[in-house]
Amino acid sequence: MLEKRTWFEVLDEWYKHNVSGILKHATCRSYDLAIRQIKEQMQNCNITEIDELKLQEVLNSMASKAYSKSSVNKIKIVMNSAIHYALLHHYIDRNPIFRLIIPKNAYEGKVEALSIEEQSVIEEYCRIHNNIKDKATLFLLNTGLRASELFNLKWEDYHHYNQTSYIFISNSKTDNGKRIVPLNSAAESIVQQLPRKLNKYIFTYNGGQLTQTIMADHNKHIRTTTGISPFTNHICRHTFATRALEKGMNPKALSKILGHSSVAFTMSRYTTISKDFIFEQMKLIDF
């Protein structure tokens, strides 16, 4: 006999038992947001009344409201996982989903890198204020790390090889994410300025780990002060990739440094080539 549960109860149960306290904080936060968005789009009902059409309508609605493709996909993952959870715990006797589809009109947002001028302004701002948040911003601009990777950097991840310093990213869900990232002179200088061994983490704030919330407030202050918007941690990563290519870095090497599975992905999603750079490159074949 099936146990009675509402759709919203199943979503909350799945999150409590399969996500919260188990997955990384950032992942938990994104799934929690997805659940709230699902609840905003749907009427609650018995889990046995859920069918593929109702769920697909939610995805279609989110796409039509200009939610990003990645956000819509996150909601799809939550829906599939919650239904599987319900089936496993005998709240339903069959899976009502054959295949949920991400609508083709879902917005596939592309993050733009900072221009050279914008990057100079932000770097100057960070050098003047020079607190731990400013140092973190400069480190992101010089390494292309994901913000979560920077937050989790430990002193045991910092190494030297052949007179060059590097960090080893070991805390990654994918094999490509586990990688060596050599440090340029600017990044190495930042590490040398930080107090060692006071904490296992390299970047700390008030004795604790630097967090997304702290950096989000910092980035907001940068946007307000400099007038440069948008500006986020992820834009730093895109900016690093763009500057690296502009200065002639091998695309395959760049892809490895960023932790991507393919060069094609790096080139299509993580670079913003400026008009000036295109004109400069054209001069190379001006015989």
Question: Taking Cα atoms as reference points, which of 255, 253, 245, 249 lies closest to residue 277?
Answer: 245
Q: Domain 116-284: which topology?
A: hpI Integrase; Chain A (1.10.443)
Map out the domains of the chain as residue ranges: 7-89, 116-284
DSSP 42: S
Mean pLDDT, residues 217-239 taken together = 95
CA-to-CA distance for 75 and 81, rounded, in angstroms? 10
Contact between residue 244 and residue 266 where contact means Cβ atoms under 8 Å apart: no
Note the pLDDT of residue 5. Answer: 96
Whole-model pTM? 0.72
The DSSP secondary-structure symbol of 162 reads T
Neighbour-count burial of 1, counting CB atoms closer than 10 A to its CB (0-12 exposed, 13-18 middle, 19+ buried): exposed
User: With b meaning 16 or more CB within 10 Å and e meaning fewer, what string describes 251-260?
Assistant: eeebbbbbbb
Most confidently modeled range among 23-37, 116-130, 184-198: 116-130
Q: Is the pLDDT of residue 191 over 80?
A: yes
Q: pLDDT for 109-148, tens place per residue?
A: 677 899 999 999 999 999 999 999 999 999 999 999 999 9
Is pLDDT at 203 greater than 90 in this prediction?
yes
Mean pLDDT in residue range 72-88: 97
CATH placement of domain 7-89: 1.10.150.130
Per-residue pLDDT at 107 exceeds 80:
no
